Amino acid sequence: MTTDTLSRRPYPPSLVHAFYAGLDRLPIPAWLFFVLLIPIVGVAQHLVAWRKGALAPGQFNFDLGTAGFWLGIFLIGVYVLKGAPKALDEYRPLLDVTEEEYARLKYGFVTIPNGLGTLFFLFGVAMGAVSGFSDMAVAPAIDYVFPLLRIGIWMIASGGTFLFGYQVIRQLRQIGAFYAMPEQIDLFNLRPLYGFSRYSATLGIMFFASTALSTLDPTAYESQVVFLFSFAVIPLIFLMFYLPLSGVHRRLVSEKERLLQEANSRIASILDRIHSAAFEQQDYEGVAGMRAVYSTLKEEKETVQGLRTWPWRPGTLTGLLSALFLPIILTLVREIISMFLGS
């Protein structure tokens, strides 16, 4: 590895990057690969259930058919690896760094370190095993007709959750650092800031969706481990969205106050000149011109007062809050499908 490569790549990447790189070489998109896993897992479990006599041949079971949903966490990985660089590229105009420095920053932002990444994945695998056996104790026997696959899904999905959760936490810390780098941010052009807020909001929605998938399994919340973990994630997702943006919000508020102080100072100055011209110099023609300036300054102040100080578009937060209804929607979908299938 050359010195230039070392400067750009200060640590080796997680093996998950090689996994996704392999997916990119498939003739189908990576997201479609994970979507296809759902019916594949469902068919595999049904074949075992039919062979063991747990289900009549051809009979469909909703829980067996949807168990692959848990692997949807790896769709978040697709977005983490491909959405993050796009968000940083959008912010690039505000970073006063060389291309080499930017390449290093981008590598650190996008790339999961192999060491800690592996530790978090293995910890997640262990937690997945605990959750799986906890669910197995309360779930119908049919759910674990193929126990190796079912427990394996729990382990892999939980490992992915912890791995990508770790990476997202890393990125949120770096976003805060990126926001602090520019000496001054233009309140009249917040567009470069929106990439990070859109990225973190989309991640929040995806994590909400991943957690909400638990509702597809009617017995999942009977396990205390699954119940506590699922609901503990909700406030963390909101903090994930808010905390990295709060620092730049304070900077924008300070910049807005500075602009308002300047506007007030100019207004006070023009009022003094109007008073002086009208009452001391009796220059009424000059007063008419200064009144036009005064009106312009008032409009300027009103414009500054209307400037946003949160680094996201109005619809971004609404979309994140709407994701809270996903568990309700998925529960209704589950009940409707079960009703039609008679299971």
CB 154 within 8 A of CB 125: no
pLDDT of residue 191: 87
State pLDDT tens for residues 107-151.
999 999 999 999 999 999 999 999 889 888 888 889 899 999 999
CB 91 within 8 A of CB 178: yes
Q: Sorting pLDDT into bands at 50, 70 and 90, what band is 222?
A: low
3-state secondary structure of 57: coil
250/246 Cα distance (integer angstroms): 6
Q: Does 318 score more than 80 pLDDT?
A: no
State pLDDT tens for residues 6-27.
445 789 999 999 999 999 999 9
Q: Does 223 score more than 60 pLDDT?
A: no
Using alpha carbons, list the distances in angstroms from residue 128 to 46, 83, 106, 238, 251.
Answer: 23, 27, 31, 24, 41
Number of H helices, E strands in the chain: 13, 0
pLDDT of residue 24: 92
State pLDDT tens for residues 325-343.
666 565 566 556 656 655 5
* Eight-state DSSP code of residue 67: G
CB 174 within 8 A of CB 108: yes
63/68 Cα distance (integer angstroms): 10
Separation of CA 166 from chain center: 13
Q: Sorting pLDDT into bands at 50, 70 and 90, what band is 4?
A: very low
